Structure 1
Amino acid sequence: MLNAGNTLQESVALQRAALKKIIEEPLRDAAQAVAAAWGSRAALNAELGRLFPGVPHCRYLYVMNIDGVQISDNVGAAGVSEADFGRNRSHRPYMRESQPATGFLLSRSYITLRERRPGLTAIQIVRSATGAAVGFLGADFYLHDLPLTRARFEEQHQWRQLRGDPSIRSQVFHQTRSESEMDRQLGTVLGVVEELMVDHGMYHIMLHFSSSRAVYWTLDDPYRYRLFDIQALVDPDTCLVYPKHPYPSDALVPKERIRAILDTLSSLRFIDETFYLRTGTLNLFNGMVGLTFSCDGSHYMPWDEFLKRDVAFWLGSV
């Protein structure tokens, strides 16, 4: 299942909305029940223990006064923990966000202090019988406990440019390209790579031109990356040890265009003695080409858009 067409931020917002629907009502009901036990640590702990099973997927429930100081213990599936009684939570991320008028807040995710893993906190205002705000009910959740829809996020296929290390950019005019072993035998290297991608199941390649090596992934062993040194890359016999594999029907890059993409990477390697390609990547399934130049700037773009760009474009963009 894909979140097709959504940005990363839009996909996150959809997940947060789904979580809010699960958490908000149980926490609001729990806050109303907690109000009756206000003022007694023992009574609050007892009430939290009774309420805890009704707040789905929660790790801990606890109560804070209006200043954010915890006035109950932590209550969880294992029982009562006294570790945080009296703790001032006013500076934690979830207490520094603006409280909505409804009195319910689902915080942004943050890294927890104890387990140092992503979590989030839901806060509900607790009101007295007269309607005055007396404090907060807090509920902590770990992201790996939550039953998110987990629709797979699909990145949008569009050109993205990312600037690199400023210290490298500032020194770019003081460097020139040094010819590598891969540069000297690039025709052979690209012939080997094309053969492996078209007929032998290699679907992702990362060519490190300056250091004369490549990192790659294959369909027969997709979870592990492998490394080619220059000796393997310049020897066509390397192709003999990889089984024949039909070209994947769901690849976004037509196999007839792989060579043109590789040749364009080669051209960018020699585009200029100061601005030149250091690393080039190609993934057949998402159809994206990745480029990192000598100035440490990086570009990621769809293969067809990449082939439309001429030398003048890249000299103006890097």
Structure 2
Amino acid sequence: MESNWKNSISKQRKLLAKSLSIPLHAIAEKCAAIEFERDKINAVLSSEFAQIPNCTYLYLTDLNGVQLSDNMSKQGLITKHFGRDRSDRPYMKEVVPSEGFLLSDAYISINLTRPSLTALQVIKKNNEAVGFLGADFDLRDLPVTTKLYQESNDWRQIKGDPSIRSLVFQQSRVESVLDQNIDQIFAILEELLTQRGMFQGVFHFSSSRATVWVMDDPYRYRILDQEALLDTDICMAYPKRPYPEDALIPMDKIKPIFSTMKNLRIADDTIYLRSASINIFNGLISLTFSCDGSHYMPYHEFLEKNAAFWGADE
């Protein structure tokens, strides 16, 4: 897997730029050799369109972004775009590198409102820029050239709604059904995680519910309301499964994780845990507090901290 999503995107963009720069440069040279007349430009674009893999539209503009050709597409010429002013489109506002080729950042297209990107090649006559050759691409048509990136395990803190943060000291925790039965409910959730195939759970303390995912049906979540969480028989609804060997959170750490969550929930009536989640495969714990701030961290870092660290008294 790629190390993160930015590296994955960068690698794909480099491969795509490499595959497009040479054929676009060749077509630009053919355009430079003719008069910029609509029919002559269209003829070049029509004959060369197949040289640009996965292209949606191919066209030529002047230096101001006004289109001097029709749009060439897989279905043939689309005449309504002749004379179109593209100067306000995102790719026309980017700085073209000195080599004369630009692969734009992705943007949302006007026609289909879908993620797209554009490759621009400067057209030169007598070593002077006279226009741009543009090639539009629908991201759906482009091949994925890298593997799925791996989510970072670095501790991340994300601030929430400012209006909630500003009122945090005017609120107080109201004891929920989950709070009143927290030891029993956490024992049930520990059983589901360690013995019954559950690999991810999100726990909502104030509303006394949990959203869980299990390995037997990983694409669908199940909601356990307070009635289910208070009924130990709920464990019988899930087949017994061995704890996965490739889980990043060791089985014997599940109980301490729940114990720490309990402390963060009940230790302070102003700054308290509102919701939390666990995923045993990526090893991450997430926490959202009453101030609406959220934390994502590896389980071992979570266990290293005590309630005092989070601003609550143990």
TM-score, normalised on structure 2? 0.97
Q: In the alignment, does 2:104 pair up with 1:107?
A: yes
Q: In the alignment, does 2:256 pair up with 1:260?
A: yes
- How far apart are 1:274 and its partner, in Å? 0.7
RMSD: 1.0
Equivalence for 2:122: 125
* Identical positions, percent: 48
Whole-angstrom distance in 2 between the partners of 1:230 and 1:198? 21
Whole-angstrom distance in 2 between the partners of 1:310 and 1:261? 11
Amino acid of the residue matched to residue 193 of structure 2?
Answer: M
Q: How does 1:199-210 map to 2 (within 5 A)?
A: 199-210=195-206
Amino acid of the residue matched to residue 81 of structure 1?
Answer: I
Equivalence for 2:45: 48
Equivalence for 2:237: 241
**Matched-pair contact (CA < 8 Å) for 1:207–1:280:** yes
Whole-angstrom distance in 2 between the partners of 1:93 and 1:51? 25
Cα pair distance change 1:42/1:311, threshold 3 Å:
same
Equivalence for 1:25: 22
Whole-angstrom distance in 2 between the partners of 1:215 and 1:37? 64
Q: How does 1:120-159 map to 2 (within 5 A)?
A: 120-128=117-125, 130-159=126-155
Q: How does 1:141-290 map to 2 (within 5 A)?
A: 141-290=137-286
- How far apart are 1:269 and its partner, in Å? 0.5
- How far apart are 1:147 and its partner, in Å? 1.6
Whole-angstrom distance in 1 between the partners of 2:219 and 2:260? 28
- How far apart are 1:145 and its partner, in Å? 1.0
Whole-angstrom distance in 2 between the partners of 1:150 and 1:211? 41
Q: In the alignment, does 2:64 pair up with 1:67?
A: yes
Whole-angstrom distance in 1 between the partners of 2:29 and 2:164? 58
**Residues 226-245 of structure 1: per-residue CA shift (max 9 Å, x gap):** 10000101111000111111
- How far apart are 1:177 and its partner, in Å? 0.3
Whole-angstrom distance in 2 between the partners of 1:178 and 1:224? 31
**Residues 236-278 of structure 1: per-residue CA shift (max 9 Å, x gap):** 1000111111111110011111011011111111121111000
- How far apart are 1:287 and its partner, in Å? 0.5
**Matched-pair contact (CA < 8 Å) for 1:59–1:142:** yes
**Matched-pair contact (CA < 8 Å) for 1:37–1:47:** no
- Aligned residue pairs: how many? 312
Equivalence for 1:97: 94
TM-score, normalised on structure 1? 0.96
**Matched-pair contact (CA < 8 Å) for 1:19–1:148:** no
- How far apart are 1:83 and its partner, in Å? 2.3
Amino acid of the residue matched to residue 289 of structure 1?
Answer: I
- How far apart are 1:142 and its partner, in Å? 1.1
**Residues 68-121 of structure 1: per-residue CA shift (max 9 Å, x gap):** 101111101000111221111111110111110000000011111111111100
- How far apart are 1:209 and its partner, in Å? 0.2
Amino acid of the residue matched to residue 32 of structure 2?
Answer: A
SS of corresponding position for 1:102: coil
Amino acid of the residue matched to residue 42 of structure 2?
Answer: N
Whole-angstrom distance in 2 between the partners of 1:167 and 1:114? 38
**Matched-pair contact (CA < 8 Å) for 2:46–2:72:** yes
Amino acid of the residue matched to residue 183 of structure 1?
Answer: D
Whole-angstrom distance in 1 between the partners of 2:93 and 2:168? 43
Amino acid of the residue matched to residue 275 of structure 1?
Answer: I
- Unpaired segments of 5 or more residues in structure 2? none
**Residues 133-156 of structure 1: per-residue CA shift (max 9 Å, x gap):** 110000001111112213111012
**Residues 186-210 of structure 1: per-residue CA shift (max 9 Å, x gap):** 1111011000111110000000001
